[in-house]
């Protein structure tokens, strides 16, 4: 379906509601979704929907949303910030409210696949209810929780906890403030000709809504967002390393989040996402949507290793995208308001270090000296595994 937008000008304030089917991942694809955007962003939104395989069933002039079927219209970045709460210092961040010897017993709310047909492996989005705790289990973006899977190990002892990066904002996916979500890939590897499944990741990917799960934490202060609403944020993620990046981007650009948290992001954000196939891209439709709605504030760059080639004709990895954009990345880093976040497989670090080293050398700088300086200034954040 094609709609002519005519000549859009910056002063054109007309709004359009696009009604979409089969757009997003998991349960999102089963529901009708509506997006209300100004004329200037209409064409970009429609292109994003087409690229992601969505079906546009209607384009309505004006805000044709209804409370039953659509979220509130997205708010444009504001030029003057609303009154905001006091900045949260690291000392105020909740840590270890629940420990392994006395975990919080949570109930699974939902568990659905995040990957499309033809993807490699299993990756699920799992949400847990946190109501009823004393103290209330709460957290902030960039933290992790521990999961203690049911059962015992080979020695008959209770299974040990595994840490997972949180994939929801402090308000939870439902914005009610009492859930936490994880993005979990099932670990599988071969040993002596046998496929071995990871204990905790399999436990989580297989778990059913209504089941009880032992949770510890939260933990972690390495990946916290700056409180500065005008900060610039570069995000480098592979696989389920996207979890903390999703929390940042929802906090920055999800309309209901922006309204609820009193923190109005006005800086620039740039996400580099590495994935083996398009089918393995996680939360891709949401990120494409943010890019369409906030083109001046958000960029989304993908490295799909089995489908794209780098400049040398080899597979396209995230470090190749960093190399391609190294000069601009460095220009961002030269701004003291810029923070860099890296999360994913530990193997991504050497390639990114090499790419940054080449870019630094071109400016007469030594990356081995510069990176520790960024770390000391609390501007270089890494969580790899």
**Active-site residues: which are they?**
164-165, 343, 383, 385
Task: Quickly count helices (H) and strands (E) in the chain.
Answer: 9, 16
Q: Are 78 and 258 within 8 A, CB to CB?
A: no
Question: What is the DSSP-derived secondary structure letter of residue 232?
Answer: E
* Alpha-carbon gap, residue 291 to 330, rounded angstroms: 22
Rounded to an integer, what is the distance from CA 169 to the centroid of its chain? 10
* CB atoms closer than 10 angstroms to residue 287: 22
**Which of these, 224, 233, 240, 310, lies nearest to 268 by C-alpha position?**
233
Token duo for residue 325: 């954009």
**Which of these, 115, 140, 112, lies nearest to 126 by C-alpha position?**
112
Q: Are 130 and 139 within 8 A, CB to CB?
A: no
Overall size of the chain counted in residues: 385
Q: Is the dihedral of CA 51, 54, 57, 63 positive or negative?
A: negative
- Helix spans in the chain (H): 39-51, 199-206, 242-253, 255-261, 284-293, 318-324, 326-333, 348-362, 367-376
Annotate 151-209 with DSSP letters as a single string. SB-TTSSBPPPEEEEB-S-TT-TTSSSSEEEEEEEPPEEEETTEEEE-HHHHHHHHPPT
Q: Is the dihedral of CA 214, 342, 189, 191 positive or negative?
A: negative
Angle between helices 326-333 and 348-362 (to 10 degrees): 80
- Secondary structure class of 215 (helix, strand, coil): strand
């Amino acid at each position: 379906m094609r709609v002519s937008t005519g000549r859009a000008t910056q002063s054109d304030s007309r709004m359009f509601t696009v009604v979409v089917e089969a757009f997003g991942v998991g349960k999102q694809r089963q529901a009708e979704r509506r997006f209300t955007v100004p004329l200037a962003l209409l064409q970009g939104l429609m292109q994003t929907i087409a690229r992601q395989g969505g079906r546009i069933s209607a384009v309505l002039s004006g805000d044709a949303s209804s409370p039953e079927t659509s979220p509130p219209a997205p708010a444009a970045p504001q030029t003057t910030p609303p009154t905001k709460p006091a900045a949260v210092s690291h000392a105020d961040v909740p840590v270890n409210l629940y420990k392994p010897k006395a975990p919080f017993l949570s109930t699974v709310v939902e568990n659905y696949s995040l990957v499309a047909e033809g993807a490699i492996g299993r990756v699920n989005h799992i949400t847990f209810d946190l109501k009823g705790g004393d103290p209330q289990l709460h957290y902030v973006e960039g933290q992790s929780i521990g999961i203690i899977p049911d059962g015992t190990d080979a020695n008959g002892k209770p299974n040990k906890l595994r840490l997972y990066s949180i994939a929801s904002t402090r308000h939870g996916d439902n914005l009610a403030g009492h859930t936490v979500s994880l993005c979990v890939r099932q670990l599988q590897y071969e040993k002596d000709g046998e496929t071995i499944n990871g204990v905790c990741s399999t436990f989580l990917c297989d778990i059913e809504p209504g089941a009880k799960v032992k949770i510890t934490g939260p933990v972690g202060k390495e990946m916290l967002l700056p409180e500065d609403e005008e900060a610039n944020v570069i995000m480098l993620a592979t696989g389920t390393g996207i979890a903390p990046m999703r929390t940042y981007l929802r906090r920055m650009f999800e309309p209901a989040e922006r309204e609820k948290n009193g923190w109005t992001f006005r800086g620039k954000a740039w996400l580099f996402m590495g994935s083996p196939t398009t089918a393995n891209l996680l939360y891709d439709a949401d990120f494409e949507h943010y890019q369409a709605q906030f083109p001046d504030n958000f960029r989304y760059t993908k490295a799909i290793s089995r489908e794209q080639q780098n400049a040398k004709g080899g597979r396209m990895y995230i470090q190749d995208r960093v190399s391609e954009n190294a000069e601009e990345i460095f220009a961002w880093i030269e701004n003291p308001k810029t923070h860099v976040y890296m999360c994913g497989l530990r193997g991504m670090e050497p390639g990114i270090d090499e790419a940054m080293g080449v870019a630094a050398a071109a400016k007469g700088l030594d990356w081995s000296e510069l990176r520790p300086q960024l770390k000391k200034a609390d501007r270089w954040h890494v969580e790899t595994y």
